[in-house]
């Protein structure tokens, strides 16, 4: 690599990188005959498997915002969210403009007793219960795979 390339990579490029944006996510779970299961939903854009997530909501603590996303995206009724994040993962969110934006996503554990069939994004997403090991195979983000692997132990 030339000195110019090194200079551009190490000094110039970082000046143009945007700071990471913050999202909150709900790792929804329940106990079943199969043991612990987690709830996955499909993304609206690509249809890939994810956990419910979204931007922070004014007036709500991060855990409360994660529980709100679980309701809107997966129909989790009265989910009980832990107030402390169980981890985080990063990914690039492609915005409507087509530009990727780096995002840091704080993950909150949400215990689920009941799922509604009628919820705000019911017609826009699929949902699926999976063991943590199965879920880790279905999601794309390596750091989220790690979180799922840990809770499966």
Report which of 36, 33, 76, 31 is spatially closest to residue 53, judged by C-alpha positions.
76
3 pLDDT higher than 60: yes
**pLDDT tens, position by position, 105-142:** 999 999 999 999 999 999 999 999 999 999 999 999 99
Q: Output the DSSP codes for 24-49.
A: EEEEEEEEETTEEEEEEEE-TTT--E
Strands 100-111 and 87-94, by their bridges, are antiparallel
| Residue pointed to by tokens 């987690």 | 38
12 pLDDT higher than 70: no
**pLDDT tens, position by position, 28-57:** 999 999 899 999 999 998 899 999 999 999
In the chain the domains, ranked by start, together with CATH numbers, are 19-151 (3.90.79.10)
pTM: 0.85
Determine the pLDDT at residue 4: 76
- Give the separation between CA 95 and CA 98, rounded to whole angstroms: 5
Determine the pLDDT at residue 137: 96
**pLDDT tens, position by position, 57-93:** 999 999 999 999 999 999 999 999 999 999 999 999 8
């Amino acid at each position: 690599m030339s000195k110019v390339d090194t200079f551009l990579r190490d000094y110039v490029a970082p000046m143009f990188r945007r700071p990471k944006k913050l999202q909150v996510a709900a790792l929804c779970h329940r106990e079943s005959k199969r043991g612990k299961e987690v709830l996955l939903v499909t993304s609206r854009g690509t249809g890939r498997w994810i956990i419910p997530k979204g931007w922070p909501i004014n007036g709500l603590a991060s855990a409360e915002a994660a529980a709100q996303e679980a309701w809107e995206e997966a129909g989790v009724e009265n989910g009980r969210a832990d107030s402390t994040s169980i981890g985080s993962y990063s990914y690039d969110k492609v915005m409507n403009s087509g530009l990727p934006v780096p995002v840091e996503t704080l993950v909150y554990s949400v215990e689920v007793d009941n799922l509604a069939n009628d919820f705000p994004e019911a017609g826009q997403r699929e949902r699926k219960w999976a063991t943590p090991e199965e879920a880790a195979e279905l999601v794309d983000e390596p750091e989220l795979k790690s979180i799922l692997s840990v809770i499966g132990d």
